[in-house]
């Protein structure tokens, strides 16, 4: 595992087919996690009861994060999810759901919340932290393009395009540019806007072996970049990811300057 802040952009911008066969490694990564001491909470920082909201990746639901949620509970955090069955809807509608849930969780526990997102969930984590630093203390992204949202493989682009057409046909898209880099909705502005790095700790966990997202796009100048080895799908089961998540959440909370909603 290594940590650095290199922000070199994706090297080539042509069509990239990704590494679909390599992505089957997630099963091996899960098997390794199940026998690793980290899953039993060994040699990781204990949590202080902070609530943690988990956000799944594109096409995925909350159920994909159950192992991570159980582990977080075991080491002393209070995880919850937002009710995603399949993360394919308009991003602006999705982030509103996330915001409502975080508001509820923050009120319930009387403190700011940590947010962990995988892939597209990492986009939400970055955006909601930018919008509501008064509610979010830590934002952790796993395998998400934080400098270029759709720096993804061609097969994934095709799946995103299908989801875009479905949103437009059903009238659920709040912008005709929904699910594109040019989207002009509030979510897109929050995602691309200045990040409150003096108030929220941002960690981007990535793998150069990612077969879905161009790893260079995960490097952010607004926080800590942590490299692990493994697949994109397997990041939610990766023993090295779990150690990185533990270290990220253990970092002291930064002070917030106020409770006003980000106007971007």
Go through the domains of the chain in sequence order and give each one's CATH number. 18-250 (3.40.50.1820)
Q: Give the Cα separation of 129 and 115 in Å (integer).
A: 8
- For residues 40-51, give the mean pLDDT: 96
CB-based contact 45:250 (threshold 8 Å): yes
Query: What gap in Å lies between CA 33 and CA 251, rounded to an integer?
Result: 23
Q: How confident is the model at residue 256 (pLDDT cuts 50, 70, 90)?
A: confident
What pLDDT shows up at residue 1? 44
Residue 257 has a pLDDT of 77
Q: What is the mean pLDDT of the chain?
A: 92
Angle between helices 91-109 and 120-131 (to 10 degrees): 60
pTM for the model: 0.92
Distance of alpha carbon 170 from alpha carbon 124, whole angstroms: 22
Please compute the mean of the pLDDT values over residues 43-68 and round it to a whole number: 97
């Amino acid at each position: 595992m290594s940590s650095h802040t290199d922000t070199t952009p994706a090297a080539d911008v042509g069509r990239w087919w990704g590494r679909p066969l390599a992505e089957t490694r997630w099963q091996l990564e899960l098997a390794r996690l199940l026998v690793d001491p980290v899953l039993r909470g060994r040699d990781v920082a204990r949590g202080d009861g902070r609530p943690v909201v988990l956000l799944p990746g594109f096409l995925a639901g909350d159920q994909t994060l159950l192992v991570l949620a159980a582990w977080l509970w075991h080491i002393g955090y209070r995880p919850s999810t937002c009710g995603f069955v399949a993360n394919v809807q308009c991003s602006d509608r999705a982030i509103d759901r996330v915001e409502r849930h975080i508001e509820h969780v923050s009120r319930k526990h009387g403190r700011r919340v940590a947010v962990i997102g995988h892939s597209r969930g990492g986009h939400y984590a970055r955006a909601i932290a930018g919008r509501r630093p008064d509610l979010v203390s830590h934002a952790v992204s796993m395998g998400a393009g934080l400098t270029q949202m759709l720096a993804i493989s061609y097969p994934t682009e095709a799946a995103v395009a299908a989801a875009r057409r479905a949103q437009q046909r059903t009238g659920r898209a709040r912008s005709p540019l929904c699910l594109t880099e040019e989207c002009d909705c509030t979510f897109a502005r929050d995602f691309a806007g200045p990040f409150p790095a003096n108030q929220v700790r941002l960690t981007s966990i990535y793998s150069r072996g990612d077969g879905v997202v161009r790893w260079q796009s995960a490097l952010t100048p607004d926080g800590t970049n942590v490299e692990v080895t493994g697949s994109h799908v397997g990041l939610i089961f990766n023993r090295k990811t779990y150690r990185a998540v533990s270290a990220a959440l253990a970092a002291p909370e930064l002070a917030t300057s106020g409770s006003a909603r980000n106007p971007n």
